[in-house]
Structure 1
Amino acid sequence: MDFSGFYDFFAAISFKEIFTATMILFAVIDIIGSIPIIVDLRRKVGHIQSEKASIVAGILMIVFMFVGESMLKLIGIDVNSFAVAGAFIIFFIALEMILGVQLYKDDAPETAAIIPIAFPLIAGAGTLTSVLSLRSEYAAINIILAIIFNIVFVFIVLKNSGRIEKVLGKQGIGVVRKIFGVILLAIAVKLFATNIKELF
């Protein structure tokens, strides 16, 4: 039996790539900044299915990383166009975080697990776009590990959202949101600049 494919897959592990991909996904997912939303959801629905939401979000990201490009080709959209569209989404998410405004509004859900926690709060359009963009630059194993690290962190935050809100306070959460909002803004600009050139 030839194990060379498995060896090559795991041989591509790079701590630098894992760290960078983890930080990018952490900024895009912005689970700390979403704590007020999570707490509000908990008040409305009584219980958040943290395990289910985390697992489904992780599976969505990993599956999209492998089949996302094929899905786009199937409907006649190239990766660069998708990345540019994603750059706009990330840009507006960053504006929400920096300016403290809400551009996207949704009705209050009846349950809080797959919708809206897993999608679109965790594995939303911005996250999936970032995963696909990372796939073109980094090895798959490094992105998968980055996704797993983020999902573990997301699960911890979902389980302890009330405590974290008390520790950080509204002001602390606001500062974190603004810091990662600036990072996201820079990511959006880079994503746009890199892919817009390929369209012309």
Structure 2
Amino acid sequence: MNFALKEILTASMVLFAVIDILGSVPIIISLRNKVGHIQSEKASLVAVTIMIAFLFVGESILKLIGIDVNSFAVAGSFVLFFLALEMVLGITLYKDDEPESASIVPIAFPLIAGAGTMTTLLSLRAEFHVENIIVAVLINMIFVYGVLKSSRRIEKKLGKNGLSILRKIFGVILMAIAVKLFAANAPQLFQ
């Protein structure tokens, strides 16, 4: 076991920024208003299962199609960079249609465990030990569960401006992480 507090904290911050559950509070509120109830426990459990499963089988899938982890990490750094641009600039480069019901599908996937999260998990795997990433996933899922349970209170306390400021701060952090991820993995592609 290679538990390292620094890796756990860094992976937790990266996942927190990518999942962006606080930035998703308006979507969650909208879904709750449409359907009346969100199954927070079920959505959190399904999301954590998807994320941990992908952490283990994602690399095998890449090998099957002939892509190495460094290439995936570089591609992931681009995805993270564009996600960060969306967060900082308040623009939408890519947006799925708004889901029609608040079941596991729109909340657990793709809102929590979406393409950005999957890319991030494999990118993190190129740099960190798996057990540290799993702890980071679990920390994030506890936080996600808390946000799902108390989304109305969070919206009232932070307000639109508070949510916007928080989103921009995590966008800048995510952008810096994307640059670091690119710098760490790009040289291996040219060896």
Provide the TM-score with structure 1 as the length reference.
0.88
Equivalent of residue 163 in structure 2, options 140, 152, 173: 173
Q: 1:164: how far off?
A: 0.1
Equivalent of residue 28 in structure 1, options 14, 18, 40: 18
Kindly provide the CA deviation profile for residues 121-161 of structure 1, in whole angstroms up to 9, marking residues without a partner as x. Answer: 21122222222222233222221111111001000001111
Which residue in the other structure is 2:106 paired with?
116
Structure 1 stretches of 4+ moved >4 Å: none
The answer as to 2:66 corresponding to 1:69 is no
Which residue in the other structure is 1:5 paired with?
none
Q: 1:56: how far off?
A: 1.1
Give the aligned CA root-mean-square deviation in angstroms: 1.6
Cα distance in structure 2, aligned partners of 1:152 and 1:14: 20
Equivalent of residue 48 in structure 1, options 38, 43, 47: 38
Q: 1:71: how far off?
A: 0.7
Equivalent of residue 107 in structure 1, options 97, 101, 110: 97
What 5-or-longer segments of structure 2 have no aligned partner? none
The answer as to 2:130 corresponding to 1:140 is yes
Cα distance in structure 2, aligned partners of 1:152 and 1:190: 27
Q: 1:54: how far off?
A: 0.8
Cα distance in structure 1, aligned partners of 2:149 and 2:71: 37
Q: Which residue identity lines up with residue 165 of structure 2 in the other structure? A: V
Cα distance in structure 2, aligned partners of 1:151 and 1:71: 24
Which residue in the other structure is 2:5 paired with?
15
Q: 1:58: how far off?
A: 0.7
Kindly provide the CA deviation profile for residues 159-187 of structure 1, in whole angstroms up to 9, marking residues without a partner as x. Answer: 11111000000000000000000001111
What SS is found at the alignment partner of 1:76? coil
Q: 1:105: how far off?
A: 2.3
Q: Percent same amino acid among aligned pairs?
A: 68
Cα distance in structure 2, aligned partners of 1:135 and 1:105: 26
The answer as to 2:76 corresponding to 1:86 is yes
Which residue in the other structure is 2:185 paired with?
195
Q: Which residue identity lines up with residue 26 of structure 1 in the other structure? A: F
* Higher CA-based Rg: 1
Q: Which residue identity lines up with residue 191 of structure 1 in the other structure? A: L
- Aligned residues, how many? 190
Q: 1:114: how far off?
A: 2.8
Cα distance in structure 1, aligned partners of 2:189 and 2:127: 18
Cα distance in structure 1, aligned partners of 2:7 and 2:17: 15
What 5-or-longer segments of structure 1 have no aligned partner? 1-8
